[in-house]
Amino acid sequence: MKGQRPDEFTIHVRGAVAEKEAKAISTRTKDALAAMTARGFQLGTPANLTDEARAKGQQQRQLNAQASLANCQAAELARLYRRLQWDYRRMAAQLTASGYRTRRGYHFTAAGVRRLVLRPESPSQQE
């Protein structure tokens, strides 16, 4: 059998076995985490839940968004649309229709476009 291509039946059986094992691993992991929690073990890092840590995370997400090439391009286009008196909803629809996505791969929303338009332009964009 070595060197032969597996037939369709063999592929289906192996896929079913892999799926069953994945579910078993998931169940064992969830059960182990629940047991640890029941014994009083604290999951996660409480230091990450402070107001200061949340603010730092928010600031880093904003910096990442501002540095994103796709966001910079979308912001420039949105500013042009704004000069044409377009509303934010129409701009979001046009950016989405043109294939633009947020840094995380989502469609633009009116609120997101508003943030792009109102944020200060970088020095390289002002020239």
Give residue 87's domain range: 60-119
Q: Do residues 112 and 67 share a domain? A: yes
Specify the long-range contacts of residues 97-102, CB closer than 8 Å, at least 24 apart: 100/70, 100/73, 100/74, 101/70, 102/65, 102/70, 102/71
Query: What is the C-alpha separation between 127 and 125, in angstroms, rounded?
Result: 6
Query: What is the C-alpha separation between 67 and 106, in angstroms, rounded?
Result: 17
Count: domains in the chain? 2
Q: How long a stretch of residues is the chain?
A: 127
pLDDT per residue as tens digits for the range 56-98? 988 998 888 888 888 888 999 999 999 999 999 999 999 999 9
Within a domain: residue 82?
yes
Of the candidates 119, 103, 44, the residue with the CA atom closest to the CA atom of residue 70: 103
pTM listed for this prediction: 0.52
pLDDT per residue as tens digits for the range 25-57? 999 999 999 999 999 988 887 777 788 888 998
